[in-house]
Chains A and B, each alone.
Chain A
Amino acid sequence: DTGVSQDPRHKITKRGQNVTFRCDPISEHNRLYWYRQTLGQGPEFLTYFQNEAQLEKSRLLSDRFSAERPKGSFSTLEIQRTEQGDSAMYLCASSLNPGSSYEQYFGPGTRLTVT
Chain B
Amino acid sequence: SQQGEEDPQALSIQEGENATMNCSYKTSINNLQWYRQNSGRGLVHLILIRSNEREKHSGRLRVTLDTSKKSSSLLITASRAADTASYFCASWETSGSRLTFGEGTQLTVNP
Interchain nearest-CB distance for B102 vs A (Å): 5
Interchain nearest-CB distance for B85 vs A (Å): 13
Interface string of A76-110 (1 = CB under 8 A from B): 00000000000001010100001000111111110
Question: Within 8 Å CB of A93, what residues of B?
Answer: 43
Bin the interface of chain A by size: 20 to 34
Does more than half of chain B's interface fall in helix, strand or loop, or is it mixed?
strand
CA distance A102 to B45 in the complex (A): 10
Residue contact B92 to A91, C-beta cutoff 8 Å: no
Closest to B3 in A: A42
Residue contact B99 to A104, C-beta cutoff 8 Å: yes
CA distance A42 to B35 in the complex (A): 10
CA distance A70 to B30 in the complex (A): 30
Residue contact B97 to A107, C-beta cutoff 8 Å: no
Interchain nearest-CB distance for B108 vs A (Å): 14
Interface string of A9-45 (1 = CB under 8 A from B): 0000000000000000000000001010000111111
Residue contact B45 to A42, C-beta cutoff 8 Å: no
Could you tell me how many residues of chain B have their Cβ less than 8 Å away from some Cβ of chain A? 23
Interchain nearest-CB distance for A23 vs B (Å): 11
Cβ-defined partner of A108 (8 Å) among B30, B42, B97, B99: B42
CA distance A89 to B40 in the complex (A): 8
Cβ-defined partner of A41 (8 Å) among B40, B43, B100, B104: B104
Is B60 close to A, CB under 8 A?
no
Interface string of A39-78 (1 = CB under 8 A from B): 0111111001000000110000000000000000000000
Is B69 close to A, CB under 8 A?
no
Cβ-defined partner of A102 (8 Å) among B3, B42, B92, B102: B92
**Could you list some 7 contacts between A and B, CB below 8 A?**
A33-B99, A41-B103, A43-B88, A102-B33, A104-B43, A104-B99, A108-B41
Q: Which residues of A does B touch, CB under 8 Å?
A: 2, 4, 33, 35, 40-45, 48, 55-56, 89, 91, 93, 98, 102-109, 111
